Structure formats: C-alpha cells, structure tokens
Amino acid sequence: MTTPDLTHDYSPWSFYGRATDAEQKLQLEHQQLLLEQHPGWTLGEQVFLSPLAAIQCEKLIMGKRCYVAAHAYLSHEVTMGEFCTVNAFTVVRGKITMGDAVRIGAHTSILGFNHTMTDPDTWVFRQPTTAQGITIGTDVWIGSHVVIVDGVTVGDRAMIAAGAVVTKDVPAGAVVGGNPARVIKWRVPALAQAPKDELGGALTAFVARAKEQAPAVLEHYWQADGPDLTGTPGRGCYVDPQAGRYNVRAQCDAIEIAALLTGSTPPPWTADEAIAALAGLQDPATGLVPDLDADGKPLPPPSDLLAGGSYEILCVGYALDLLGARLPHPITAVTGLSTDRLGELLDGLNWAGNPWGSGHMIDAIGTALLWDSERPAATGLTDSLIGWMVRNADPATGMWGRPETAGLLQLVNGFYRASRGTFAQFGLPVPYPERVIDTVLRHVRDRTLFAPERQNACNVLDVAHPLWLATRQTDYRHDEVAAVGRTLLGDAIGHWVDDQGFGFLASRPENTGLPKAVPGLQGTEMWLAIIWLLADLSGMSDALGYRPRGVHRPEPALRFGRVPRETA
C-alpha cells in the first residue's frame, strides 16, 4: 500500500515550485470542477486548494498565488487579495475580506458572525445570528490558534501573536497579543498612536504658546529700515531668513500668520496700507504679480505665467482675500487664453519627469481662474481645466504622472499642488480617492523623508492635504490615516522655536546649523496650516481654536458653478 504524498496539502506555498506536471494537472482539474459547481467563485493564477479542505462558500474570490491548506474550513463569503495563505485546520467563516499578503497560521478561527442571546428562555443555537463581517488589511501576519470575532477590522501591516483573542479593531502597524488582545508593541513605529488625551493636551498647550508668542514672532521678521513694496528705502517690510532676500511672499506669509494667531493685520501695517501695497504690485496688462529684486523693488512684470509670477498669484490673491479685498485687475495672462491653447499648455507640462512643477503650474492657473471667476471666459476655461485633470488622472495611483519615472515624492507633491488649485479650491471630488490614499500612505512610510528630524514643511503638507481631501469622500483605511495624522501631528508641534516660529525643515537638535532649519515666515505659515490638517485628520482640530483661511484653507474658495465667491 502506497502512502499518498500530502506535502503540498500541508505546505501549499511550495506547490508551484515543486509539484510535478501530473500533480499540477490534477490540481487544475480539481479547481475546474469546483468552479463548475460554484458559479460565485473566482480563482486567480496559481492558486492552490487542497482537496482535503472543506470549502462551502457561496462566494469565494482568491487573487493570484493564494493557498488553502488541508483541513481548513471556509464558508459564506470569503474574499482574498493576492499572496494570501490559509493554513491547515484554520476556520474562516462569514463575510471575510482580506487585502494582499495575509498569512494565517494553523488552528486559527476567523468568525464573521455570532449567535444572539436576547431570549433567555430559548436555546442559543435556535436564536438568530448577526453578521457584521471581518476586514483584514494588507501585509498582515496572523499567528496560530488566534480567534478573531465578528465586527473586527485589522489594519494594514499588523501582526497578531499566537493564541490572541481579538475582540476589538487592531490598529495599522500594531503587534497585538493576549486575551483580549491588546497592543504590545509596534511593527511600524511611525504608526504608533499616542493616547488621544495626551496628544490633545500637548496640542492645546502648543496653540496657547503660539498665540501668546505671535506678536514676538512677527516682530522678529520685521525689518524697520527695509524697503516697502514700491522699493522705497526705510519704509519697512517683512524679511524671511529662509528666502535670503526681499520677496513678496514674506509679506503675504506675515498676513496669514497674523490672521491665524492674532485675528488682525500684522503690525505696523493697517489693513488699508497692506491692501494698497499688495494691490499695487499687479501688472494691469497681464494681471500677473512680479517678485522683488535684491533692493526690494518690483521686478519687471512677467510676460506670461510660464515666465514667472505663478506663486505670487496665490499668495497675493489670498492675502488680499484675508484683508477683505481683491486683485484689482483681471488676470488676462490666463483668462485671455483660448481653451485650445490651455489644452496645449497642459499637455506640454512635464508630467513624466516633474509632476511637482507641473502641479505648481496647474495650481497657479486654477487660482487665476478663481480670482477671475466672474469673467465669462473663466467658466469655459475652468471646465476645460477640470476636464483635463479628470481625464488624465491615473486610475492606479489617483495622481498625475507616473511613480516609475518621477518617484513617489514628486508624484505626491505634484498631486497636492494640482489638486489644491482645482478640486480643493472649487469644491469638487477628486478622481480615485481610495487610490490617492493608497499612494500617499505608501509614500509616508519613507523614513528618509518622514522621520521626525527629516521632515520639512513641503513634504508633510503634501501628504497631509491629499489625505485630508480624499477622506472628505471616503472612510477607506480610516484608522491608518488617523494614525499617520497623530504621529505627524505629535512631531509637528515639537518643531516650534520660541518667539521665532517654525523652520521650513524641522527645527530639532539634529538639524542645528542647517539653513533650512532656521525659523522663518514661510515655515511658520506652512506648519500652522499643516498642524490644522493633521489635527482634523486625528479628530482634534477643535482644540486649536484657529482654522486656515488663506492659501491652505480647507473650505472651497468657490463652489464650482456658483457666483459670487464665498469669502472666509
């Protein structure tokens, strides 16, 4: 009598590497028979189902290279991504949804239903059942002899120790164990969650400190003997050490900081003085705003948007908006374009190699259309711009450009700029919000950029805002998004330097002497907005007592198709 070889039934992951042609043929015939018997099943490439497993599913979806070992018991509705393994003697029953790379140890029970016991006079087995289902994220390791009960969500990249009884949701990146299971450490330290009350207390303390020191911060950057925005010496201006020169942005950042922390115009200006100075910069012919030269005098106005003035359209326009005013002239450099010319310009941007620069240009175009929203030409151009963005969004990433050619940093930062000036600014839903969340969460794992000492305002803003924007549309991966928000928020409030604000690069001991870590107006304005976005992702924005109202405002500046424009 020959003993059957059951190696692959108990170690199914080795099947396609070691099985003979005859064994593989038998497995495929077994699968074909099961598919004929069960129309609700879908089996991916190179899956393995042991003939010794009991599979009684009405619906079974298995992605490629998923395996079910001997004596496993599956029933009801089971969905697996790719590279999932259900080991021997494991029970998976109910509506169970797994991401990719979920590996389940032997003798584990994942039970997506439960008996009720509301009637003490009726045997439990005769009472109705309830079923919420169980959701397991991607890259999750579940040890042997684990029990997961109905209604639980296991976050991405979590690990569940052998013998654990899981009765509550497992945070993304956590290692849990015990009965009932609790977090014992973090597989992904960047996702570690500080207690909400502890972080909330630190947040409240931070904002009190920032508001108390706001006058000193603004005074620190006021140069009394500097030139005003006409270039007249001795009239005074704001100077940002980060820029290393006179520039328009510093004046606008000061206005935004004062609006957030003091609710007033930054001294020594009155609102009328600031409005006159900023509005006077705009070129009546093109509507564009030049920057300043080395002496603080306005440069010659750019001939078109590609020649310069793109960020000034944002910062001057929003600074005037905060002061209750508007740019005095139409921005004909944009609203004078034909829809064909706009399409040519968008197509000609270097999305493959420089999504950030391309998104920067989209941001400026969209904002110019915002300021000219009452002009008839702006409506058609805005339609064309939004239409182009929707048509060209990548369904795989939710973004514009390709990660394989530009890298995730460029891709995500470009998405922020492009979406800020279009979908966020006009109150429109982004295409593929779940893919945006996937892409940003993959990017934020990069410790070379997001370790506390490596963080800069641009990179953190450019993950905070896309996550915030996408989560207005979906609760997808909610717990992981909130965990990222809490982690980055805890880091951000620690970057503040007394009486000076924030550096562009995190102002931490490791960065002492680095020019970008020197506090300045740009870093302070950006980090204040970032902190609000992260706090809102974490459910704690009410503790701040302020809300961005300028370039980084969370509300749309214009509900698409509605005039007049809403003003914060």
| Tens-digit pLDDT profile for residues 457-487 | 999 999 999 999 999 999 999 888 999 999 9
CA distance 411 to 169: 32
Residue 121 binned pLDDT confidence (cut-offs 50, 70, 90): confident
Q: What are the angstrom distances between the C-alpha of 564 and each of 370, 385, 540, 558? A: 11, 20, 32, 8
| Tens-digit pLDDT profile for residues 74-84 | 999 999 999 99
pLDDT at 344 (0 to 100): 95
357 pLDDT higher than 90: yes
Element (H, E) at 52: none
pLDDT at 418 (0 to 100): 96
% the chain with pLDDT above 90 = 74
What is the assigned CATH class of domain 7-187?
mainly beta
Domain ranges of the chain: 7-187, 191-216+432-556
| Tens-digit pLDDT profile for residues 161-177 | 999 999 988 999 999 99
pLDDT at 2 (0 to 100): 56
For the stretch 387-394, contacts whose Cβ atoms lie closer than 8 Å and that sit 24 or more positions apart, written own/partner, are: 388/343, 388/346, 389/362, 389/418, 389/422, 389/423, 389/431, 390/431, 392/351, 393/430, 393/431, 393/432, 394/432, 394/435
542 pLDDT higher than 60: yes
104-130: average pLDDT: 88
Residue 567 binned pLDDT confidence (cut-offs 50, 70, 90): very low
| Tens-digit pLDDT profile for residues 493-535 | 999 999 999 999 999 888 999 999 999 999 999 999 999 999 9
Cβ count near 32 (within 10 Å): 11
405 pLDDT higher than 60: yes
Q: At what angle do helices 457-470 and 403-419 cross, to 10 degrees?
A: 70
pLDDT at 69 (0 to 100): 95
pLDDT at 194 (0 to 100): 55
With H, G, I as helix, E, B as strand and everything else as coil, classify residue 232: coil
pLDDT at 78 (0 to 100): 96
% the chain with pLDDT above 70 = 97
260-272: average pLDDT: 94
| Tens-digit pLDDT profile for residues 200-254 | 889 999 999 999 999 999 999 999 999 998 888 889 999 999 898 999 999 999 9
564 pLDDT higher than 60: no
When the pLDDT of each residue in the chain is averaged and rounded to a whole number, the result is 91
431 pLDDT higher than 60: yes
pLDDT at 274 (0 to 100): 95
pLDDT at 561 (0 to 100): 40
Catalytic residue among 30, 38, 76, 115: 115
> Which string of DSSP letters, residue by residue, matches 374-427?
TSHHHHHHHHHHHHHHHHH--TTTSSSS-HHHHHHHHHHHHHHHHHIIIIITTT
pLDDT at 165 (0 to 100): 95
Q: What's 475-528 look like in SS3?
A: CCCHHHHHHHHHHHHHHHHHHCECCCECECECCCHHHCCCHHHCECHHHHHHHH
Asked if residue 118 lies in contact with residue 127, where contact means CB atoms within 8 angstroms, the answer is yes
541 pLDDT higher than 50: yes
| Both tokens assigned to 6 | 């059951």
115 is catalytic: yes
406 pLDDT higher than 90: no
The per-residue b/e assignment along 91-129, b for 16 or more CB within 10 angstroms, e otherwise, is: bbbbbbbbbbbbbbbbbbbbbbbeeeeeeeeeeeeeeee
CA distance 201 to 235: 42
